[in-house]
Amino acid sequence: MVTLTPRAADEVKRILREQHRPESTTLRVGVLGGGCSGYEYRLQFVDQADEQQDLVAESHGVKIAVDKKSSTYLAGTEIDIHEGLDKRGFVFNNPLAIRTCGCGSSFGV
């Protein structure tokens, strides 16, 4: 399953507050074909997970849903937050990725 670091969870909660979304909002993590390395990570907020199609877990107080197909590519992935002078955003530490793009949003398995 996908997990968040405490810092990433705090950032997700901050964004939820800023967007005036209810606490029950779920972070959907998925994979789409494309990108420089073959697959792209996708993050979005949804009102609720599809219990039939998704694997659902909680990480540091954030509800996370991953569709079953994407879970094959995301098993063991930890999402962190990077804050630097050069860039700021979520980073994916995916143990299944054998190559990644310089932008950090695409990977190959």
What is the phi/psi pair of residue 70, to 5°? -65, -30
How confident is the model over 2-26, as pLDDT tens digits? 999 999 999 999 999 999 999 889 9
How confident is the model over 35-88, as pLDDT tens digits? 665 788 899 999 999 989 999 999 999 999 999 999 999 999 999 998 877 778
Nearest one of 90, 72, 88 to 80, comparing CA atoms: 90
Are the CB atoms for 12 and 62 separated by under 8 Å?
A: yes
Identify the architecture of domain 3-108 in CATH.
Sandwich (2.60)
What's the rounded Cα separation, in Å, for the pair 93 and 95?
6
Are the CB atoms for 79 and 91 separated by under 8 Å?
A: yes
What ranges do the domains of the chain cover?
3-108
What is the phi/psi pair of residue 21, to 5°? -95, 150
Q: Which residue has the tokens 């079953």?
A: 68
